[in-house]
Structure 1
Amino acid sequence: MNKIIAVVGMCGSGKSEAVKFFVESGYRRVYFGEVVMNEMKRLGLEVNEANERATRENLRKEFGMGAMAVKSLPIIEEFMKHNNVVIESLYSWEEFKILKDKFGESFKLITIYTTKDLRYERLLKRPFRPLTNEESKSRDISEIEKLDKGGPIAYTDYLIMNDGSFDEMNAELKKYV
């Protein structure tokens, strides 16, 4: 069976860059955030931190804390037939449990970690959906308190410290391809 890796960590830790590395290494990407973006588009909502948070929370109220995993299972299963899969934006413990129950030892977590200050600096400068320091702090608190994000980070199979360059992070990620 092919393997499935979920890249987890707080916003601005470098998850997207890690996912990019896995995609460039031949993995198929499943972005849980796409479920949220598609729902926002369907509802005609402007893309911003507040609307993203509200939409995520509403989906989880309707479908449970494992909503993104449940809604993404068909595409994951399809990709797994022929490829390794990397998941971007797994947040909740329920999402983790759904995937672990479904895929067993083929499913692993990689946490990308860095300090809050460095994450906030990165988020302020990023070209796609930049966040102010206040928005970053608000998102952190919301994700920890309301989305149960700490569980998968704490229960990780592999930990990558991302306080340096992306080349340094990628050198660490090569161990897990």
Structure 2
Amino acid sequence: MGAGPLLIGISGLSGAGKSTATTMLAALSGGKSVYVGQVVLDEIKALGLEQTRENERRVRLDIREREGGAGLLRRKRNEILSALANGQSVFVDAILSPDEWFELEMMHKVGTRLLIMDADFETRAARLTARNTRPFSRDDLIRRDDTEQAALRIEDLDKDASIRIENIGPLDHLERCLASFLHNIELPRLA
């Protein structure tokens, strides 16, 4: 078994299954799930803005412009470090840029991994348009993909990934893939 808690960043385009994977990984391991996107939702609320896709996009880009490419993640730093200090492995949803990956690695130099969730556009669009909370239209998804690919350079993370999971099947298949990932990296399990 591993010597201590791990810090796992989950990356992938919208609708690829990052949040689902993060929740499953935390449940499988007894670890903690940290949703970086909550920073954006909290900022929208603090600013008194309506929660729309456009406001989410603007706030997300504004925070990154003002606080650097890893600004969103830095706001979750204390939560992440506190869990690690308590011996919990942490699963971060989501790492979307090389700046965020570098920041994550600097938080926990031993045992940091990057997992990329992947799914084709049609699968992602079907998931996001059917979502009850904060659904996406196909146009929303195209715009979000453009931002993540051009402005954030999400594809540059491929070289740093420990594993890529193609998430196009049923949830039980995803859970088996994630359990295998945990087993292969020798994640310490809580008693």
What is the TM-score with the length of structure 1 in the denominator? 0.95
Q: Which residue, 157, 173, 176 being the options, matches 1:152?
A: 157
Distance 1:11 1:107 in 2: 22
Q: Which residue, 38, 51, 55 being the options, matches 2:55?
A: 51
Q: Name 2:35's counterpart in structure 1.
A: 31
Distance 1:31 1:155 in 2: 21
> How far apart are 1:146 and its partner, in Å?
1.4
Contact 1:8/1:153 (CA < 8 Å) preserved in 2? no
Deviations 1:104-163 (A, max 9, x none): 231101111111111111111111111111111011101111122222245211111111
Letter of the structure 2 residue corresponding to residue 39 of structure 1: E
Deviations 1:90-115 (A, max 9, x none): 21110100111231231101111111
SS in structure 2 at match of 1:104: coil
Distance 1:99 1:13 in 2: 21
Distance 2:62 2:24 in 1: 31
Contact 2:81/2:107 (CA < 8 Å) preserved in 1? no
Contact 1:9/1:153 (CA < 8 Å) preserved in 2? no
Q: Name 1:138's counterpart in structure 2.
A: 143
> Tell me, which stretches of 5 or more residues in structure 2 are unaligned?
183-191
Letter of the structure 1 residue corresponding to residue 63 of structure 2: L
Distance 1:33 1:169 in 2: 22
SS in structure 1 at match of 2:110: helix
Q: Name 2:99's counterpart in structure 1.
A: 94
Distance 1:47 1:149 in 2: 24
Distance 1:105 1:23 in 2: 19
Letter of the structure 2 residue corresponding to residue 114 of structure 1: A
Letter of the structure 1 residue corresponding to residue 40 of structure 2: V
Letter of the structure 2 residue corresponding to residue 113 of structure 1: D
Letter of the structure 2 residue corresponding to residue 27 of structure 1: G
Q: Which residue, 61, 77, 82 being the options, matches 1:78?
A: 82
Q: Name 1:128's counterpart in structure 2.
A: 133
Letter of the structure 1 residue corresponding to residue 45 of structure 2: K
Distance 1:48 1:23 in 2: 29
User: How many pairs align?
Assistant: 177
Percent of aligned positions that are identical: 26
> Tell me, which stretches of 5 or more residues in structure 1 are unaligned?
none
Q: Name 2:166's counterpart in structure 1.
A: 161
